[in-house]
Amino acid sequence: MNVCFAPCPVVFDLDGTLIDSAPDIHACVNAVLRLRGVRPLTLDQVRGFVGGGVDLLWRRVIGATGLPTDAHRDLVASFMTRYHEATGLTRLYPNVIEALGILADRGYPLGICTNKPLGPTRAVLEHLGIDRLFGVVIGGDSLPQKKPDPAPLRAAFAALGADPAQPRGIFVGDSEYDAETAQNTGVPMLLFTRGYRKAGIDELVHHAAFDDFQKLPLLVEETSAQAFAPSQG
């Protein structure tokens, strides 16, 4: 028997979902590349590398720049010294605060599940003034597994009171990683279409899509009612 709060928990991805952090990530990447005498990458290039965590980001940067693969560890370390406090260029997407406030006021337990390392995640949430809205924050280094493995999302739902084996909750994300994570976890996904995804909307498994956070509270209510309505009889 599933145990969960009512209404059901809502867990969010971070980069490309609640926040546009690509400008800060881009600046940190290029600061490291400058130290190596490497030509900087464009914002669009770096935005396309975001989603799988810092290690994958730098594997993609190395592939794009021709840097030696054995420099990966040093590049990541150099990047992280800058990334931990990189908040100045990051912005919330429009209407995020309003949507989160409505969901919180209606009693939905809120959480974060991201592949972004936990330190930078907490720093940017605090910088943007939304850290206290979330009952749990799972970062890319909180567990041995990263999305699209279901373990981080299951942990987030469990911390909000859901059955980790069969969570009755909703995941909100923007990317292929998020769609696969929701599918692997067995929960409905709401797809924010202005984020960092590379595939077409129709290529991603999702319950519903939206392009403005004003639409999210109603979508959450509808999805919760459809996916988790009590059985009759």
> How do the pLDDT tens digits run along the chain, 233 residues long?
344 344 699 999 999 999 999 999 999 999 999 999 999 999 999 999 998 889 999 999 999 999 999 999 999 999 999 998 899 999 999 999 999 999 999 999 999 999 999 999 999 999 999 999 999 999 999 999 999 999 999 999 999 999 988 899 999 999 999 999 999 999 999 999 999 999 999 999 999 999 999 999 999 999 999 988 765 44
The per-residue pLDDT for 2 is 42
Q: Provide the terminal-to-terminal Cα distance of the chain, rounded to the nearest Å.
A: 17
Q: Length of the chain in residues, anyone?
A: 233
Of the residues 13, 15, 20, 174, only one is catalytic, namely 13
- Written as one letter, the residue type at 176 is E
- Identify whether the C-beta of residue 197 lies closer than 8 Å to the C-beta of residue 209: no
13 assigned to active site: yes
The per-residue pLDDT for 230 is 67
The per-residue pLDDT for 4 is 39
- Alpha-carbon distance values, 160 to 69, 112, 154, 165, 231 (Å): 40, 11, 10, 13, 23
The backbone torsions φ and ψ at residue 81, rounded to the nearest 5 degrees and listed phi first, read -65, -25
The per-residue pLDDT for 229 is 73
List the structure tokens of 20. 């546009």
The per-residue pLDDT for 231 is 53
Q: How far apart are CA 80 and CA 142, in angstroms?
A: 16
The per-residue pLDDT for 79 is 97
CA angle 196, 220, 121 (to 5 degrees): 45
The per-residue pLDDT for 164 is 84
